[in-house]
Amino acid sequence: MAIFKGAGVAIVTPFHEDGSVNYEQFGKNIEYQIANGTDAIIVCGTTGEASTLTHEEHLEVIRYCNEKVAKRIPVIAGTGSNCTETAIYLSKEAEKIGVDGILVVTPYYNKATQKGLKEHFTMIANAVSIPMILYNIPGRTGGVNILPETIVALCREVKNIVGVKDATGNISQVAKLMALAGEDVDLYSGNDDQIVPLLSLGGKGVISVLSNVAPKQTHDMCQKFFDGDVEGSRKLQLEAIDLIAALFCEVNPIPVKKAMNLQGQNAGTLRRPLTEMEPENAARLEKAMKTYGIL
């Protein structure tokens, strides 16, 4: 059984102006997501700026999120690293905290072979007992791509590797994956502009940036599809395309934090090396939000 089905938010980590984590606001953001139908919370991923959190902050943010959610919906913790031992450490600590699953990104910079990827993911999964989702995002990992055959083998050979968040943008590769996978791989879209296409290939849902600012719409996009209203789901996908493009006109999470601040969600500042949005892109984002009806 899938860890979750529907729209999971890749939630931001709000910061104070001095760069410290704003837990009070984080709690408000979590409650906003749950109140608007979000099906799962994915904490300390790319959107949560996990790469600039210390290990102590990383685990404390996971702990706070898990306690705040209190099992109302699943919590999945990002615990990946380009160091296998570090990923094992973070994953074991996240399991102790009590999360429902972990999301583990392809090791970046090292440029592992498929053999290396299999060993990396297998060692992490074997160190814990909770379900693990692979995160395939070549654009952030030096072009390293987990091939469909590797994903299927991992999901079949390692009992708690259950699926993949696919952010390759390659629909042909996803189609090949699902043709090979049968019922053995839980597929989640990692791209908000491809939610419905991946659902049509057998996807279980999305791990979404868009959900930070439009949680109900993203949930409804998935639910309509599951309910058989494919036309309604398609309509919601297409209505969101311009906003999604604006949310990714600079590297994530720069635009989504700006969007949340415009909404009054107080996502706060960014940690370096990320910087504030360029004025012309911020204007484009604000216009798209107004057109979409969330500002």
The domain limits of the chain are 6-227
Catalytic residues: 135, 165
Q: Residue 1: what pLDDT?
A: 79
Question: For residues 84 and 117, what is the distance between their CA atoms, to the nearest angstrom?
Answer: 10
Taking residues 20-33, report their average pLDDT: 98
Taking residues 179-202, report their average pLDDT: 98
Taking residues 6-17, report their average pLDDT: 98
Amino acid code (one letter) for 35:
A
The tokens 């692979």 sit on which residue? 134
6-227 maps to which CATH number?
Answer: 3.20.20.70
Q: What is the pLDDT of residues 124-160, one digit of tens each?
A: 999 999 999 999 999 999 999 999 999 999 999 999 9
* CB of 236 closer than 8 Å to CB of 221: yes
Query: What's the pTM?
Result: 0.97
**% of the chain residues with pLDDT over 90:** 100
Taking residues 93-114, report their average pLDDT: 97
Question: For residues 285 and 282, what is the distance between their CA atoms, to the nearest angstrom?
Answer: 5
Dihedral angle of Cα 170, 146, 90, 185, to the nearest 10 degrees: 80
